[in-house]
Amino acid sequence: MRAAVASAPTSAVMRVASRGGNALSRRTRTRTSSSRTTTRGGRRATTTVAMAAAFVPAGAQIAGVGMAIPKQSLTNDDLASLVDTNDEWIKTRTGIGKRHVISGDESLTSLAAEAATDALKMAGVDAKDVDLIILATSSPDDVFGSACTVQAAIGAEGALAFDLTAACSGFVVGLVNGVHFIRGGEYKNVLVIGADVLSRYVDWRDRGTCILFGDGCGAMVLTSTPNPEDCCVLGFDMHSDGTGNHNLTAKFTNENGAEVNDGASKPRADTAAANSGRGAFCNIGMNGQEVFKFAVRAVPDTVGKSLAHAGLENEDVDHLVLHQANQRIIDGAAKKLGLSSDKVVSNIAKYGNTSAGSVPIALAEAVTEGKIKKGDVVACAGFGAGLTWASAILRW
């Protein structure tokens, strides 16, 4: 006797809502089906498996930016009372005049929430309508990350939130990722934040590092547009080289304060000393000369590649916004790219090296001051620990 095979429709239109597990952003997609025939006990049966079609592509645009800086600042003269240095020595070698550090009840989360709120206000986007939060940081308030605490602080209750660690390249990497989430068609509003409070890991007795780092945060809101061809990222380029990792680190340390390189960070469970201990991280250690040489070589190269991907020439760039690590690196990159000083955005003199915060802070400040305007072409690049380096060409 032949078994009856039930037929199923091969196509059905379903209304789906996508924001991870929350049904907030509605789109119409086509569901198709595939059939699979199996034999069980001599009887043939056909199973119909429904499959969702590809996402509907969308464009992405920059809708708003914001920034937040700690209240307390340290000038070069302040540091001269801690280490053997002076204002002229620091400015000549780095271009830095002062830096800001968190104090009191300030935290990475509070700075990120402030910057995010300002960016959302400029964009005209309610926090409840944010679909995704990407927090680029190397210094979260919690080892498990701070993106979720930022989400709670700003009231973005429906958003997926996660941390991204790519050191001083983090914001550019986060921006490229955010744009891709939107262009996939499933996210409408994405908040990208670059924030660091590396003052927590600075040895204030080390003249080579304490003069460089400051705390701060910048944020950007990306929103979707119906036209997939309308994209704020015209081209990008991203790289990593772990063989250079040793040149800039803040390693995990055991209870005695020694760096841990072999993974044996705690007593083994099978030893007598298996009681729990307290973990921590070492202060920042840097081979300044090697990092400087890496940056001088990598930055012009990655910006050039992003311009090539965008089909643009150096002269098409209206503004150059680089990670604010050292004024000599910024000036050297601009010279190699053939860009005049009036196209270079620099605020390192006021804030120092804020790691993942430096590029979005510079962008937010330039927008607020009226330097970056709608339609401008902006070349951005980050570089730092990992080693990592990344660039993106933006159409504002």
Catalytic residues: 168, 323, 353
CB distance 68 to 47 below 8 Å: no
The residues pairing with 346 across neighbouring beta strands, listed in sequence order, are none
For residue 91, the tally of other CB atoms under 10 A from its CB is 15
The residues pairing with 62 across neighbouring beta strands, listed in sequence order, are 222
CB distance 250 to 283 below 8 Å: yes
HSE-CB at 298 with a 13 A cutoff on CA atoms is 25
Query: E strands along 18-154, which residues?
Result: 26-40, 43-52, 59-68, 72-75, 98-101, 132-136
As a dihedral over the C-alpha atoms of residue 270, residue 273, residue 277, residue 283, rounded to 10 degrees, the angle is: -100
As a dihedral over the C-alpha atoms of residue 358, residue 360, residue 366, residue 370, rounded to 10 degrees, the angle is: -170
Look at phi and psi of residue 394 and say left if phi exceeds 0, alpha if psi is from -120 to 50, else beta. beta
Task: List, as own/partner pairs, every contact residues 13-18 make where C-beta atoms lie below 8 angstroms and the sequence separation is at least 24, other chains included.
Answer: 16/52, 18/186, 18/187
Q: What's the token pair of residue 61? A: 């645009």
CB distance 324 to 330 below 8 Å: yes
Q: What's the token pair of residue 288? A: 């300044």
Q: What's the token pair of residue 200? A: 């927590």
DSSP state of 213: B
